[in-house]
A and B are shown apart, each in its own frame.
Chain A
Amino acid sequence: MPIVEKSLVTVDRSDRLEMEGIDVSGDWNTFLRSRVQTDLDVRILDWVRSQPQGDTISRCWQCGTCTAGCCLHTDYGLNEFNPRYFIYLAQVGYEEELRKYATTIWRCVSCNKCVERCPKGVKVEEVIHTIGSYLEFTGGAPESPADRFDRAYTENLLRRGVLDEASLFRTYERLEGRTMPAGEMLKMGFQLLRSGRLRTGPLAHRTRGWRQFGNVLREKLKEDERRRRASLSAAGGRGGHSP
């Protein structure tokens, strides 16, 4: 095969061609604007790896099996939901690009097909949630409806130790600044009851001994939050709003 020799010295040419200030005459070493990347952030990978749910991230070799089977990626055509790509961005540290998906990443429905199939034993579902947590804790993502729902869900559960779907729905609607007409609400409640998705019905339940247990749980959540912040500042993270 012939070796193509390229001259390193710019020859004196009179037919220099410029377009919009860019030299496009095709000489060696011309044409390129600087492409140096300064935004690679190793803290993402370090932090995700340091978390018990995230430590398998470094096994990933980007085969795409997880994405191939992900129901969000295929069935719902949510092409920007791509677990393999999220892992790649976190591994290499393309923080800016990753942040574009800070909300999308939470669309995962935890079906775990990816975990079943990954040839390298990456706990994909946990890993991408850990990446999502990083983005959230470092405060780059605007709060999404999903975030608000999560918040309402957790608070609802903490109140009595049993999820109360009816009040959860009301709270969430309020957070979104909406109110559903009573008729609609009844209709939906009836449908949910019939399909077995609504367990509590109109009665308020409570887990036995919830007062003590709930307190322990609240303490634990606070403790987790403290630890997360500590690990984030250890990893040099920026801190941010709490979940």
Chain B
Amino acid sequence: MNPILVLGAGPAGLSAAAEIAELGAPTILVEREAYLGGNPKRWHYSLLAPDLRPSDEILGPLIAKVEGNPRVELHRSTTVTKAERLPKGFRVTLKTGDALETQEVSAVVLATGFDHFDSRRKFEYGYGRYPDVLDFKELEGMIHDDRVLRPSDGKPPRRIAWILCVGSRDLQVGNPWCCRMGCAVSIKQAVEIRQKHPEIDAYVYYMDIRTYGLWEDLYWKSMQEYGVKFIRGRIGQVTIAEGGSQLLATGEDTILRRPTEVPFDMIVLASGMEPGTGTQEAAALFGVPVGPEGFLTPNLSDMNPVDSGLPGVFLAGAATGPKAIPDSVTEGMGAALRAYQYARN
């Protein structure tokens, strides 16, 4: 049997590669970055919602399963530049630095993931202009290193606000979908900060809180145990407050039915998920249809969410839409099984 190609080494790809190897088939795992672990690794995610376990505890074992596994051929800093369909599988060209290499594979699993929304596009929030407006993936790194300080002056903040749905559920930037994790991750960050630094006040500006399923517990806890405060209204703009050292979040408190302008030391943007550049390239290479949102579309998203409908092409993780890590890991397993069944016959 020719090896099965897994594209992308985030949670979904790692899980797929590990399972294929477990089934006894050879795997080629291709990752464009020099490290394994995808976005969670890249941005040094701290604790993962909903169980507040360190991300390394979840990614570490997944990475260990593929690294040094004799059935997994790892290609870091590598991209696929060409894919030709064979009677069974594909002939693919892998590019590492300047070196090209051709391989025949019996099936592919596309686990090319997502990119965080570039918050600069939501210009009215001042990201990229005001140093103390952060993207929440940057705050993850700060919490991870326990160095939550204002980038402008290095001082600890007294009051932090989170703005949800930045670059999600927003026709002005062309992204009508919900990112699925922004609420949970923001609330989790607020909880983490309140745990370590109860002197910091945490406010979350929301339209709806979507801590779906069992994640609701996190939302309840954040209020009951950690005193996180919630204001219902979408922030319209962020400016510099009088005096110049604080940020002013302007919105409507829709419950009070009046404008609110609150000064904050730091403002954190819950940036959404967009189809990654890797996902767009993979769609073009393997001819997988993309939906109006730009994510890969499974053939039957309800019955068979990991099948592309094209012979030998399987899908996993956030490449098909915003997804949390546990769901991505599960889909990686499903895609591994389907790819194995296809390759074996």
Interface residues of A (CB under 8 A from B): 61-65, 67-69, 73-74, 79, 82, 84-85, 116-121
Contact = CB atoms under 8 A, between A and B. Distances in A.
**6 closest residue pairs by CB, A with B:** A68-B236, A64-B252, A63-B234, A67-B252, A119-B170, A69-B236
Interface in B159-185: 165, 169-172
Contact of A64 (B165, B237, B254): B254
A67 B171 contact: no
B171 A68 contact: no
B207 interface: yes
B236 A61 contact: no
6 contacts: A64-B252, A64-B253, A65-B235, A67-B252, A68-B236, A121-B171
Q: How large is the interface on B (under 10, 10 to 19, 20 to 34, 35 or more residues)?
A: 20 to 34
A64 B250 CA distance: 11
A73 B257 CA distance: 11
B129 interface: no
A143 to B, nearest CB: 27
Contact of A68 (B169, B170, B250): B250
Contacts of B165: 119
A84 B233 CA distance: 11
Given A74-B250, A84-B254, A118-B172, A65 B234 contact: yes
A239 B252 CA distance: 35
B124 interface: yes
A79 B258 CA distance: 6
A68 B171 CA distance: 18
Contacts of A121: 171-172
Given A69-B250, A79-B257, 18 more contacts: A62-B254, A63-B233, A63-B234, A64-B234, A64-B236, A64-B251, A65-B252, A67-B252, A68-B233, A68-B252, A73-B252, A73-B259, A82-B257, A84-B254, A116-B172, A117-B124, A120-B171, A121-B171
Contacts, number: 62
Contacts of B233: 63-64, 68
Interface of B: 124, 165, 169-172, 207, 232-237, 250-254, 257-259
Nearest to B175: A119
B172 A82 contact: no
A66 to B, nearest CB: 8
Contacts of A120: 171
B172 A85 contact: no
Nearest to A79: B258
Given A82-B252, A84-B254, A117-B236, A67 B259 contact: yes
A68 B257 contact: no
Contacts of B170: 119
A74 B259 contact: yes
A85 B165 CA distance: 21
A65 B257 contact: no
Contacts of B124: 117
A119 B171 CA distance: 5
Given A68-B251, A68-B252, A120-B171, A85 B257 contact: yes
Contacts of A74: 250, 259
B33 to A, nearest CB: 32
A116 B207 CA distance: 18
B113 to A, nearest CB: 25
A187 to B, nearest CB: 36
A118 B172 CA distance: 7
Contacts of B235: 65, 68
Contacts of A117: 124, 172, 236
B207 to A, nearest CB: 5
